[in-house]
Amino acid sequence: MTVDMWKNDVDTSNIVAITNAQNTKLWKSKELYEALENDMDYEIEAIKKRYKRELFEVVADQTGKIFDEDVLMVVWARRFVEYKRPWLLRMKIERFKHLIEKEKQPIQVIWAGKPHPFDQYGINLFNDLIKLCSTLKRAVVLVGYELKLSKLLKRGADIWLNTPRLTREAYGTSGMTAAMNGAINLSTLDGWFIEFAKDGVNSFVITPVDTSLSFEQQDDIDATNLMNILEDTVVPMYYKDKEKWLRIIKQSMRDVLPYFDSDRMLEEYYEKLYDV
C-alpha cells in the first residue's frame, strides 16, 4: 500500500519501513515485568487489581460511579475520530447493554479521548456516549485524556479495545503501551496490530472484514463480531479460566518487548535512515 501510493510519482527517494515503538522507561510497568520474570502469577493479578483501584478513584471522582476491581474492565481511549469508530462497541445496543447490566459476569466500560475542538461531529459522538452512560451502571466517559490518564487507563484495563475501520489506522501506538502494562489488546487487524497479534495467544483479533463492502456493512459485521468475541470468548475466559487469561497477558508482555521498544526503533533510524 505504502509504496503503491507513490510508485508512479517518485523516483528520487529511497523508501524504507521502520516499525514504530514506544519508550519503556516512560511506559512499561516495571513491577509487572518483575513478576513475569519471577513467574509470580498471583503477583501479576494483585498488581493489576491495585492499578484498577487507582484508575477507579479517577472514575468515581469524575463521574460519581464506583467501579468494581473484580469486574472485567474494557477501555476504549484514543482520539475521537470517525475512522476509529468510538461507537462500534455500542452499535449492537441491546447486546451491549446486556453485557454491562447483567448481574453475573458483567463488563465495565470506559471511553476517553479528545475530539478535535472544532469538530462538532466528534464532540456529538462524545456527548452521545455521555448521555448513554448516564443510564448505565457500569459505563463512563472520562475527560482529559492526556499522558497521565493514558497511563492510568492502560494500567487499569483488562481489555484495551481498538476499533479502527480496516486499512485506516496509521499505527495505534497505544496498544503497545497497554500490553506493557498487562492489558490484553482486542482490536481489528490494522496498524501495529498486524505485526503483533496472535489471536487467543497474545491478544484477541476481530476477524478482518471484506474491505470492498460498504462502510455500513463493514461496521455492522465488525460490531457483530466484536459482540461475539466479548460474549463467547473474553467474558467467559476472564471469569472462568484465570489461568488462560494470565497466559495471554504474559505472552503479550513478552511479545511486545523488545521489538516495540523505541530503543530498537532509534537504532534502526541510525542504521537505515540517518546513514544517508
Partner 1 sequence: MDKKEFCKNKRIAYFSMKLAIDQCLKIYAGGLGFLAGSYLKSAYENGCDVTGVGILWTEGYYDQERDYEDYMKVEFRRKKYYFLKELFTTSITIHGEEVKVRAYYLDPSIFKTAPVILLSTDIEENSFLARTITKKLYDNDEDTRIKQEIVLGIGGAKVLDELGEEVDVYHINEGHAIPVAFYLYSKYKNVDEVRKRLVFTTHTPLKAGNESHHILKLAHLDFFNSVDLEEIKKDHRHLWGWFQFDFGCFAII
Quick one: which of 10, 60, 93, 194 contacts partner 1 (CB under 8 A)? 10
Is residue 114 near partner 1 by the rule CB under 8 A? yes
Minimum distance, C-beta of residue 90 to partner 1, in the bound complex (Å): 17
Binding-site string for partner 1 from residue 139 to residue 178, where x marks contact by CB under 8 A and - marks none: ----xxxxxx------------------xx-xxxxx--x-
Query: Residue 265 Cβ, how far from partner 1 at the closest point, in Å?
Result: 7
Given the rule CB under 8 A, which of 19-27, 32-40, 88-96, 196-204 is the region that contacts partner 1? 19-27
For residue 245, the minimal CB distance to partner 1 (Å) is 27
**Residues from 212 through 271 that contact partner 1 (CB under 8 A):** 261-263, 265-267, 269-271
Torsion angle of C-alpha atoms 67, 69, 73, 79, degrees rounded to 10:
60
The reply on whether position 201 binds partner 1 by CB under 8 A is no
For residue 114, give the nearest of 138, 96, 141, 90 by alpha carbon: 141
How near is the Cβ of 97 to partner 1 at its closest, in Å? 20
127 binding partner 1? (CB under 8 A): yes
Residue 40 within binding range of partner 1, rule CB under 8 A: no
Applying CB under 8 A, does 276 fall inside the site for partner 1?
Answer: yes
How near is the Cβ of 218 to partner 1 at its closest, in Å?
16
Q: At what angle do helices 242-256 and 41-63 cross, to 10 degrees?
A: 90
Q: Which stretch binds partner 1 (CB under 8 A): 11-19, 29-37, 38-46, 207-215?
A: 11-19
Query: How wide is the angle at C-alpha 91 spanned by C-alphas 90 and 94, nearest 5°?
Result: 75
- Binding status of residue 20 toward partner 1 by CB under 8 A: yes
Residue for cell digits 505485526? Answer: 195
- Amino acid at residue number 109: V
Binding to partner 1 by CB under 8 A, coded x per residue (else -) over 47-86, reads -------------------------------xx-------
Q: Which long-range contacts (CB under 8 A, 24 or more apart) does 245-252 make?
A: 245/184, 246/41, 246/44, 246/45, 248/184, 248/200, 248/201, 248/202, 248/203, 249/44, 249/182, 249/184, 250/36, 250/44, 251/198, 251/201, 251/202, 252/179, 252/184, 252/185, 252/202, 252/203
The CA-based angle 105-110-116, given to 5 degrees, is 155
Q: How far is CA 6 from CA 1, 14, 237, 276, in A?
A: 9, 11, 45, 20
166 within 8 A of 215, measured Cβ to Cβ? no
Q: State the residues that interact with partner 1 by CB under 8 A.
A: 1-2, 5-6, 9-10, 12-13, 15, 18, 20-23, 25-27, 78-79, 114-118, 123, 126-127, 130, 134, 143-148, 167-168, 170-174, 177, 261-263, 265-267, 269-271, 273-274, 276
